[in-house]
């Protein structure tokens, strides 16, 4: 039943057009705005030595993937307010199956967002990057959104319906700014860049760049993102067990 529920839940969310528009509209507008500035000028980023349009596409893809993963919070808040999660507890679906289904659905939405953004960039701006590098960049970003999917689940487990939107925006905006997904961190004071290295969004952006470069230290971002995954996963399980014990 857990496997069947995972498939149905992922398909249901992929068919939710309002959610798809929500997770794609802003990233695509950002890509068109910044891509129109850097897309045809052949400028190269001094830090990564990648074409600016590639750096921009990776940032926007990470932004879109992170938004899609975190948006799982709204689904869970809605289900909790309707009592759907309590109904599921009296079915053969295990708690692990329920939580994994939310993770799988979040990753499916994130993958769709990443693929669409990169495809639009390739069609419109023809960035100078091999298909292999694009695949590695997309794979790195997709794997890197796992802690954000767990964070979205955790927010959904805690938030009440009236506070879900402000809490989501606070978490999302903070992660986006500190991750350098909106503007380069170089424009901020040095201490901001130091703080940013403690949050997963910084390394989400970095792992996409490393995939595009096909070189560099991939171990550090992998370890940081894995640490966040373990901690957030433990918190999600703890919160679910606590809710189940109550009702």
Q: Provide the pLDDT for residue 135.
A: 96
| Residue 13 or residue 209, greater confidence | 209
Residue range 50-60, pLDDT digits in tens: 888 999 999 99
Q: Sign of the CA dihedral 173, 63, 231, 14?
A: positive
The answer to whether residue 40 scores a pLDDT higher than 90 is: no
Question: Do residues 118 and 62 lie in contact, with contact meaning Cβ atoms separated by under 8 Å?
Answer: no
Q: What is the CB neighbour count within 10 angstroms for residue 154? A: 21
pLDDT in tens, 71-130: 888 888 887 777 767 776 667 777 777 888 889 889 988 999 999 999 999 999 888 899
Looking at residue 128, the DSSP 8-state letter turns out to be S
Mean pLDDT of all residues in the chain? 85
pLDDT of 41 higher than 70: no
List the domain range (segments joined by +) for residue 83. Answer: 2-246
Query: pTM (2 decimals)?
Result: 0.88
Q: What percent of the chain has pLDDT over 70?
A: 91
- Give the three-state DSSP class for 44: strand
Any residues with CB less than 8 A from the CB of 153 and at least 6 apart, and which? 72, 73, 76, 99, 102, 103, 106, 236
- At 5, is the pLDDT very low, low, confident or very high (cuts 50, 70, 90)? low
Number of domains in the chain: 1
Would you place residue 39 in the very low, low, confident or very high pLDDT band (cuts 50, 70, 90)? low
Q: Which two tokens stand for residue 44?
A: 């190269």
Averaged pLDDT, 176-203: 85
**Residue of 3 and 66 predicted with greater confidence:** 66
| CA angle centred on 60, ends 56 and 66, rounded to 5° | 145
Res 31 pLDDT > 80: yes
Which range (31-45, 176-190, 226-240) has the least confidence? 31-45
Task: Lowest mean pLDDT of 48-62, 96-110, 139-153, 175-189, name the range.
Answer: 175-189
User: What local confidence, expressed as pLDDT, does residue 204 receive?
Assistant: 94
């Amino acid at each position: 039943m857990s496997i069947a529920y995972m498939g149905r839940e992922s398909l249901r969310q992929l068919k939710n057009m309002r959610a798809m528009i929500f997770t794609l509209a802003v990233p695509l507008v950002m890509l068109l705005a910044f891509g129109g500035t850097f897309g045809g000028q052949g400028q190269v980023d001094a830090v990564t030595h990648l074409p600016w349009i590639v750096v921009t596409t990776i940032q926007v893809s990470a932004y879109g993937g992170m938004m899609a993963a975190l948006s799982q919070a709204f689904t869970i808040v809605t289900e909790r307010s309707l009592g759907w999660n309590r109904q599921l507890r009296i079915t053969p679906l295990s708690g692990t199956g329920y939580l994994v289904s939310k993770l799988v659905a979040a990753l499916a939405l994130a993958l769709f967002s990443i693929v669409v953004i990169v495809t639009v960039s390739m069609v419109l701006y023809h960035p100078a990057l091999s298909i292999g590098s694009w695949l590695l960049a997309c794979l790195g970003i997709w794997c890197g959104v796992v802690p954000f999917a767990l964070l979205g689940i955790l927010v959904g487990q805690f938030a009440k319906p009236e506070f879900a939107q402000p809490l989501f925006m606070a978490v999302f905006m903070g992660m986006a700014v500190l991750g350098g997904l909106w503007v380069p961190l170089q424009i901020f004071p040095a201490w901001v860049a130091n703080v940013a290295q403690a949050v997963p969004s910084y390394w989400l952006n970095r792992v996409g760049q490393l995939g595009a470069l096909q070189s560099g230290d991939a171990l550090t971002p992998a370890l940081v993102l894995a640490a966040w995954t373990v901690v957030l996963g433990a918190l999600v399980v703890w919160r679910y067990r606590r809710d189940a014990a109550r009702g």
